[in-house]
Structure formats: structure tokens, C-alpha cells
């Protein structure tokens, strides 16, 4: 299938039952990540959880990349007087640090102090961060709708944090919430960086960023006491599941959905992942979130809807990198699909 055919197909309105099934699978993987992390960190140090899921996810994406006949871009380029790291790899390494390394360490630590559902709710703010960062660092316009969307999202976050934000800053739960909010900022930063990066085929990009993040995270194991005898089988299974599902397989599904139904359709995950995270937390762990969560979530999602309401082509381009979160960010330009 040619590139023009792919673009035409991605922009066609409507979605088939298979597309909806893929979206539901993507949402279930992304929304379940927080529950998996909660189980894993009960017996396994957060650092081990992060390193483990990154290596599993990296291996999955490398296998997928090789199976598709893709390869990494050249790491070194030869100049007139020296050999340097290629521009593609400089961007891949930077995005790996921002979109994987930092937030993947933050979430396991934070979820020792807050419910998995609440962590998922905070992910809803990520697309709003993306809009604001794109204005400052990607020269994208900031109209009234985007400003209103950001304000609504911010109001929702303040409701989530509650009055504690005005005084009890040493509260561990509040600190964890602030950390998760920073993690969503990292995800948004990775999305904006992905837009500005030179084009790399999606499978190679996803495999490269995961591989780099896994390498970056590994030295952290030297700073934690490792006692595998205390790790439960359930915890280990969830670490592997995190790598196979939200970190690895989700990246593949994102590519498929965008190629089949378009990036705008895939962006629906922004609204559904937080809801799934809350539902899973309630079903598996009997989490009973405070009323403020159910007031804040609709406000944040309304902010997302308003901030992303714009022209068709622009919306499609933005959605291609906005729906990442706990799912693997994939560099898919709406105008550059691979067959």
C-alpha cells in the first residue's frame, strides 16, 4: 500500500468493529498499567519494576521491528573531520529520557502512596500539557479553546489535590500526586519532542526509545537492595505483563489503529484510559476514591475535549503523538505512514 493510500485510509470517517475492538484493547492495556504497578510494588522495589518492564518492552519491540523488516537508523555519521552520533539517535535518546526514563520511575514510587485509579485519573491531564508545551516549544498556535481547556484541566487537578495543596505539602500522598502530575508533563514533553524529531519509522522509533530507556535505567539497580527471595510470583508476573502489554504491545496497537482508522480515532484513548483505571482499581482493590475525583475527572476530560477541538488535519496530527501516557509513545506522523 502506498503512502498516499495510507493517508487516505487514515483520514476516512468512521471506524469498523475491528477498529473499536483494537481501541478497547489499547485502553484496557493502558488503563490496567496502574493496577499492574500497584501489585508489582507490593513486593518488588519500584526501581526493579521500572527496569524490568523497560527491558521486556524493548525486547518485544525489537522483535517486532525485525519481523517487519525494519532496522535502526545509523548510530554514527561521518563528518568532514569527525564521527558523531546521528541526529535521529540524539532525538531518540532525548525522548527516551523524557518520555520513558523519568515517568517510568515516578509512577511505581508514587503508587506506593496513592491509589491506582487516582494515578490513572491524573493521566487525563497529559494531552492538556501537550497543548501548552507545543505552544512554547513547537510554535503551535494557542487559541481561546486551548486556553479554556488548560484552565479547566488545571481546575480539575486542583480539585483532585484538595485543600492540602495550600498547606500540607509534606503529606506523602500529596507529594505522590505532584510527582504523577510531573510524570504526565514528561509524557507531554516526549510527545512534543516526537513531533519535532526527524522522521524515523514507527517500529524502529519505538524499539529505539525503549532500548535506550532500558539502558539508562539499568544502573539504578546498583542503588537498591536486591533480594529476589522477597519478590512474589504475582509481582514478577505483573512486571513482565507491564513490559509485554502497556510498554510493548500497546505501541504496536497504536500503529495499527492510526493506520486503520486515523490518529483522531486513536485519541479517544485519552478519555477512556482514566475511566478504565478507576474501574479496575475499584474492581480489583476495592478502591473507593473520594468524591472530588469524580468531580475533577469530567472537568479535566472536558478541558481535553475543548483544547483538542480544532481543524481536521491539525487535530489528526496532534492526536498522533498525544495519546501516549502509560502506553508506549510511538513516533507516528499523520502524514507519514509505513506500510
- Which residues contact residue 301 at a Cβ distance below 8 angstroms, ignoring those fewer than 6 apart? 124, 270, 271, 274
Tell me the pLDDT tens digit for each residue of 160-184: 887 765 555 566 788 899 999 999 9
CB 210 within 8 A of CB 61: yes
Q: Determine how many CB atoms are found less than 10 A away from the CB of residue 285.
A: 14
Tell me the pLDDT tens digit for each residue of 76-97: 998 878 899 999 999 999 999 9
Mean pLDDT score across all residues of the chain? 85
The mean-pLDDT minimum among 167-176, 294-303, 324-333 falls in 324-333
Tell me the pLDDT tens digit for each residue of 94-109: 999 999 999 999 999 9
The mean-pLDDT minimum among 59-63, 280-284, 320-324 falls in 320-324
Mean pLDDT, residues 273-277 taken together: 93
C-alpha cell at 69: 523488516
Burial status of residue 300 (CB atoms within 10 A of its CB: 0-12, 13-18, 19 or more): buried
Question: What values do phi and psi take at 76, rounded to 5?
Answer: -110, 145
- Cα–Cα distance between 205 and 215 in angstroms, integer? 15
Amino acid at each position: 500500500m502506498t503512502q498516499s493510500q495510507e493517508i487516505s485510509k487514515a483520514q476516512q470517517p468512521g471506524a469498523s468493529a475491528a477498529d473499536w475492538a483494537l481501541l478497547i484493547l489499547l485502553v484496557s492495556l493502558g488503563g490496567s498499567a496502574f493496577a499492574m504497578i500497584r501489585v508489582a510494588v507490593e513486593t518488588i522495589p519500584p526501581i526493579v519494576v521500572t527496569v524490568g518492564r523497560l527491558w521486556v518492552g524493548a525486547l518485544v519491540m525489537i522483535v517486532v521491528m525485525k519481523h517487519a523488516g525494519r532496522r535502526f537508523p545509523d548510530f554514527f555519521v561521518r563528518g568532514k573531520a569527525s564521527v558523531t552520533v546521528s541526529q535521529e539517535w540524539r532525538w531518540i535518546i532525548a525522548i527516551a529520557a523524557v518520555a520513558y526514563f523519568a515517568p517510568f520511575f515516578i509512577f511505581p514510587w508514587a503508587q506506593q502512596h496513592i491509589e491506582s485509579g487516582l494515578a490513572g485519573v491524573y493521566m487525563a491531564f497529559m494531552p492538556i500539557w501537550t497543548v501548552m508545551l507545543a505552544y512554547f516549544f513547537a510554535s503551535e498556535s494557542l487559541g481561546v479553546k486551548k486556553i479554556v481547556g488548560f484552565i479547566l484541566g488545571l481546575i480539575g487537578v486542583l480539585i483532585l489535590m484538595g485543600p492540602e495543596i495550600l498547606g500540607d505539602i509534606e503529606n506523602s500522598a500529596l507529594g505522590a500526586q505532584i510527582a504523577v502530575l510531573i510524570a504526565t508533563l514528561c509524557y507531554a514533553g516526549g510527545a512534543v519532542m516526537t513531533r519535532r524529531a526527524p522522521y524515523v519509522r514507527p517500529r524502529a522509533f519505538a524499539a529505539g526509545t525503549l532500548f535506550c530507556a532500558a539502558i539508562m535505567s539499568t544502573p539504578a539497580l546498583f542503588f537498591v537492595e536486591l533480594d529476589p527471595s522477597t519478590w512474589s510470583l504475582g509481582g514478577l508476573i505483573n512486571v513482565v505483563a507491564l513490559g509485554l502489554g502497556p510498554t510493548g504491545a500497546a505501541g504496536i496497537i497504536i500503529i495499527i489503529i492510526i493506520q486503520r482508522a486515523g490518529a483522531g480515532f486513536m485519541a479517544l484513548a485519552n478519555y477512556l484510559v482514566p475511566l478504565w483505571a478507576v474501574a479496575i482499581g475499584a474492581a480489583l482493590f476495592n478502591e473507593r476514591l473520594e468524591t472530588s475525583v469524580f468531580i475533577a475527572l469530567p472537568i479535566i476530560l472536558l478541558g481535553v475535549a475543548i483544547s483538542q477541538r480544532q481543524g481536521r488535519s491539525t487535530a489528526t496530527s496532534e492526536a498522533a503523538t498525544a495519546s501516549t501516557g502509560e502506553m508506549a509513545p510511538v513516533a507516528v506522523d499523520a502524514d507519514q505512514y509505513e506500510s
